[in-house]
Amino acid sequence: MKKIELSLLAGLIISILLSSVGTFAADCEEIRDHMLRLHILANSDSTEDQHLKMLVRDAVVETAGQFSETADTDREDLLREIEETAEHTLRINGSSHAVRAEYTKMYFEARQYGDYTLPAGEYNTVQIKIGEAAGQNWWCVLYPPLCLPAASGPAILEEELTEEEIQILESPEKYEVRFLLVDWLDTICQKLLG
């Protein structure tokens, strides 16, 4: 009889843990769905190309701020505006590099932005490739605008996320084990799904 009780107790504990991790994973997925990341690849690692990348970054972040009323802004309009801004920035700074902007899903490790830590996982991303796109990259969060200097992160986050999702972003140490479990499960799922 003791074995049956211990087995039932172990099963109950495992069920509670899996349920908790599942809920947390769903919250992390909601967070990722409310974000729009920016990823810029420089032409090369030369000082000039890295400087151009930062000039493009500044111009694109300013332009994208006009679209930040919602992460669901018309993708084509946003991409066209970002690509035009990047190209204009390159031209006025004497560069003839091609520039391409695309909307994609990209995997990002857990990353801290000020008081917030974003969970690892796949995010909707605007990726800008300058020239050969063989240089060091730069990334941030376009929406909510956590990489904008004048961004009011907390106010914008409160409009978009639930209280529990904000707690996850503000208190990553509380969720560290859960982050590891979710990251591990995401990795396994990505490998299985190809």
pLDDT digits (tens, 9 = 90+) for 41-71: 999 999 999 999 999 998 998 887 766 554 4
Residue 62, domain member (yes or no): yes
Secondary structure percentages of the chain, helix, strand, coil, to 5: 55, 20, 25
Q: What are phi and psi of 19, to 5 degrees?
A: -65, -45
Whether residue 56 lies inside any domain: the answer is: yes
pLDDT band at 94 (very low <50, low <70, confident <90, very high): very high
Q: Does residue 77 surpass a pLDDT of 50?
A: yes
Let me know if residue 114 belongs to a domain.
Answer: yes
Q: Is the peptide bond before 145 cis (omega within 30 degrees of 0)?
A: no
Q: Which two tokens stand for residue 80?
A: 């066209």
Which distant-in-sequence residues (6+ apart) come within 8 Å of 43 by Cβ? Answer: 49, 52, 53, 97, 130, 131, 132, 133, 134, 135
Domain that holds residue 141: 34-159
Percent of the chain at pLDDT > 90 equals: 30
Predicted local distance difference test score (pLDDT) of residue 21? 47
98's CB contacts (< 8 A; 6+ apart) are 130, 131
- The answer as to whether 29 is a domain residue is no
Residue with tokens 């030369």: 46
In a domain, 149, yes or no: yes
- The answer to whether the predicted template modeling score (pTM) of the entire model surpasses 0.85 is no
Does some domain include residue 165? no
In a domain, 132, yes or no: yes
Q: Which residue has the higher pLDDT, 66 or 135?
A: 135
Say what the pLDDT of residue 34 is: 76
The per-residue pLDDT for range 142-176, each reduced to its tens digit, is 877 776 554 444 555 555 566 766 666 666 555 55
Q: Count of domains in the chain?
A: 1
Burial of 63 (C-beta count, 10 Å sphere; 0-12/13-18/19+): middle
Task: Count how many Cα atoms sit within 13 Å of the Cα of residue 91 in the half-sphere of its side chain.
Answer: 8
Q: In this structure, is residue 152 part of a structural domain?
A: yes
Beta bridge partners of 102: 127
Q: Are 95 and 13 in contact (CB under 8 A)?
A: no
